[in-house]
Chains A and B, each alone.
Chain A
Amino acid sequence: MDPEELEFVGESVSIGIIPNFNFDAIHLIAGTVGPFKAGLPLHIPLWLAIHLRKQQKCRIVPPNWMDRDILEDKKEEEKRVPNFTSMPCDQYMIVSKLIFSHASEDVPSIEEIKTFIKDIYDIRQAKLRTAIDSFFIGKKQLDGATQVSFTNLTMFEIHTVRSFLPYASDLIARLERVCQQHTSNANDTVHSNSFFTSSSSGY
């Protein structure tokens, strides 16, 4: 998926706002939003919050995890643990990007938070890169499997490697099958060399 599509998916998370206008409840397919009372905080989908924020009709309440101390702890934990840690929000990249670019005044100490989130993202990307590297070259022998853990990886991060990793592993797996077949058949004189059988068996 493209980042724009991921952004679209991520926009459905709910976020707190404080409206400065009065309005009745809006009935949408995904659920009812509102009613809006000036000064009373409520939860609405992020896309609507951004839309209202652009028109200066509300103030966005940053999510709980968008906090200096929590993010600092998270960053330390991410550094310490070899596997991916679970993120406070599955769409953390999308939520923070949208809030930072449209409602930067609503977040206290935004510069520090921005740096922490960028650091966490970079650490996770580096981990992902090492995980994939060990996936490709970790196995020195044909026996013994490599184990790589992708637990807690968020959707956004998965899609940064999705167009490459499965197809690269497919190619490797296909050549591995060829390799195994011919090592096991090395002493055999009978080979199946037919163009048709070899293509239908699909290695």
Chain B
Amino acid sequence: MKRTYYPNYFSIDDIIVTQEKIPCITEQELSNLGFLDQSHSSTDLKANQEVQLPLWYILQVQKERGRNQFYDVKIPNIYKSTYSEICKADATAVDLGKLNKHFYELGRYVSHFDRNGFVGRMIYETCRSRMKYLKDLCNNINNEQRNESRLDHIEYHLFLEGSKTNKKFSEWLQESTVNIKTSEMVVNHRKRKRALMEAENAIAGSQKT
């Protein structure tokens, strides 16, 4: 698994993040775009109408801000003051996974539309105070509770990785590992060709006879 996440054009995670619907208000009348608002059957979008639009669409339309302004993008509720107050008070108490599976990534995109730089600061501060908590969570390897709903997608993968390491090291220290298994890195390198070659030889041998 790739543990450092950088969004790119082919990143599945990035595609999933940009599927998220963001509330917007139309700035002007848009003809023939009525299908964007499922609740109305009109063919056109009127000015000042609220619509939920996927993030990828907004990012495309908003390419040059100021010149191509069709929609006024609202900040989703989860990045608004109520939650930011909770995050400020105790970031570890928030079940980020329940707010949004991709809290940080979505926040990163949303911060483009936030003129005060408020969302950017909020996700940064939240992430920093949660990392210590996440690290402690990794150390409790006996703790079998499902943390998936409490953690952001990236956090969850970090947690899996961290707890796996801790488990391995404590097993090693307690000498409970008896059989050495092939390391994951070696498996990924496909360096062990012997088994494959033997199988091929067996097939070739049976064909000769």
Chain A residues near B (Cβ < 8 Å): 1-5, 7, 97, 101, 129, 132-133, 136-137, 139, 159-164, 166-168, 170-172, 174-176, 178-186, 189-191, 193-196, 198-199, 202-203
Contacts and interface: CB of A to CB of B under 8 A. Distances in A.
Contact of B62 (A189, A193, A199): A193
A183 B177 contact: no
Contacts of A139: 128
B152 to A, nearest CB: 9
Interface string B1-32: 00111111100001000100000000000000
B8 A199 contact: yes
B14 A193 contact: no
Given A167-B161, A183-B120, A191-B112, A199 B7 contact: yes
A154 to B, nearest CB: 13
Contacts of B84: none
Given A1-B185, A178-B111, A195-B59, 17 more contacts: A2-B184, A4-B177, A4-B181, A97-B172, A160-B165, A164-B162, A166-B4, A167-B3, A175-B124, A176-B124, A180-B120, A182-B120, A186-B115, A191-B65, A193-B63, A195-B56, A195-B60
Contact of B132 (A137, A159, A176): A137
A193 B59 contact: yes
Contacts of B36: none
The 9 closest A-B pairs by CB, nearest first: A3-B172, A182-B117, A164-B162, A179-B124, A179-B120, A182-B120, A183-B117, A195-B59, A167-B3
B75 interface: no
Interface of B: 3-9, 14, 18, 56, 59-60, 62-63, 65-66, 104, 108, 111-117, 119-121, 123-124, 127-129, 131-132, 134-135, 138, 154, 158, 161-162, 164-166, 168-169, 171-173, 175, 177, 180-181, 183-185
Contacts of A172: 124, 127-128, 131
B135 A137 contact: no
Given A101-B175, A172-B131, A189-B66, A182 B5 contact: no
Given A7-B172, A178-B111, A189-B66, A136 B7 contact: no
B131 A168 contact: yes
Given A172-B128, A175-B108, A193-B112, A132 B161 contact: no
B9 A196 contact: yes
A17 B121 CA distance: 60
Contacts of B66: 189-190
Given A136-B131, A168-B135, A2 B168 contact: yes
Contacts of A179: 111, 117, 120-121, 123-124
A163 B65 contact: no
Contacts of A164: 135, 138, 158, 161-162, 165
Contacts of B62: 193
Nearest to A100: B175
8 contacts: A1-B183, A164-B158, A164-B161, A170-B4, A175-B120, A195-B18, A196-B9, A199-B7
A195 B134 CA distance: 30
Contact of B65 (A4, A129, A190): A190
